[in-house]
Structure 1
């Protein structure tokens, strides 16, 4: 076997492992999302696989698509209601992130998400627009299979769309941030203390979500804090935590979600998740852009100072007048005092 054949075989084996890894992660995260289901045990307000699928496409391209298809088929197979319905739902779950991927590529989305337009396109095109496909295909399939209660189509559609869009809003930015994250070196103890305090405050706000008072707004100061001090590496996990606590309160019909219809709760939850994701992404993008601009200004100032130092003439110290001469200019006589 030639060296080229071995390299090709090794590359193919690596892609097979990546496909299996994406399928396994899709399946495991789907099972985790189903812990907070609303209808038929398969419609949930948070569906992490959509975020994993879109992140995989953005990072590894279309060649990873078989892993998404396999993961979706395996988890849908455990939910039913029939094999034709499973195939249709799998098709919808595959087309949705594929459509989101195409929309983001057309608009010039950058995985670094260091621009305002990256945050806006991810939220409105990647999450809200792309996930209309999976929600529509899935709800229609369940309706045609008579797996929904009478009049339950639109409620199922809204919960489905909320879950798929939330998965993109919260999971995709986190995975993209983790890809470029680096362990902080030589961070002072105060920095670690501030991060620990942020985690504790986020947990405390999460516990308050189950209180009778509507305290969802307390999450936004935390998102601002995380974005300003830790940029994307801190804002995306904070947004995931804050939204997860809100989803838990919604599934338990507690706190600000108590006493309302399920549709009203889903509308409120979707609006909150979208606002939280936008706040985290836009603020972190603004701070990142500011830091980059500051670094460029400092670098330009340094280069300008070096250029001035190189081009300035070397005049040396100024010459002192000769007050001890022999007076040759005056005919050899000492000038009069």
Structure 2
């Protein structure tokens, strides 16, 4: 019996943080929320943390996967696959499957671009935070005291604003005599336009990525709809594991193995021909297969069909029976 070994593939993964203990430590909670938001932004998902204990909803990161939105609970890992797809993984499965590797010293162009945009985003947030802090200090201090030179008072305020807007490390260094070098006039309009260009570029990149992702999902939906039309017993039902309304799951049997896909509301029109059943129908019960197991089974069945029939077979079928070409050589 032939045996195979899974190819070693490096993946990127992050662990969903757990709520800090003991509860009530403000600094720990803020760091926890920020880490969850950063993880959600990384995988293109949404952070649903700090849920009310009485709501019955567990804290989770909602991840858009090739099978639709899935939840990653605290302690779970979010994995970025070799094709850029994201999916959750339980910690015990992750520990048994993966081991930590040192990152390559040479980052790819995509990684470098991502880091640059992330750095710009953090820089903009830091600028805004420093200006807000300065404004609050001004509001608390109130107007200049009587007898103070208004022009001098404004010069000090402008110098403080200049120091708040410029990123740390760009301030003029002291000269050997302890005097500050004369700084050039600040072009506030140029700074604002530069920030606007940076934010616009980030928005355009995000929009392009979303369009590319939606196009890939639409292509996949077309192929699954075709496969459902060629498969006996295909059924579709509403997805109870997705919070957003309109999501469905289509169930097929391919080579005596179950295969299922989540169907987005925008792709529902492609599945009008599939029999619709209630979510408790025996034919619409997930058997526990993973995405990797599903496509491994499909690849094995495809190879089996080619071995039975060969490329000359003109019949379109996905059943397990032999076609006329194969049964009458």
Which protein is richer in helix relative to its size? 1
| TM-score w.r.t. length of structure 2 | 0.27
| TM-score w.r.t. length of structure 1 | 0.26
Report which of the two structures shows the higher radius of gyration computed on alpha carbons. 1
Higher relative contact order (CA 8 A, sep 6+): 1
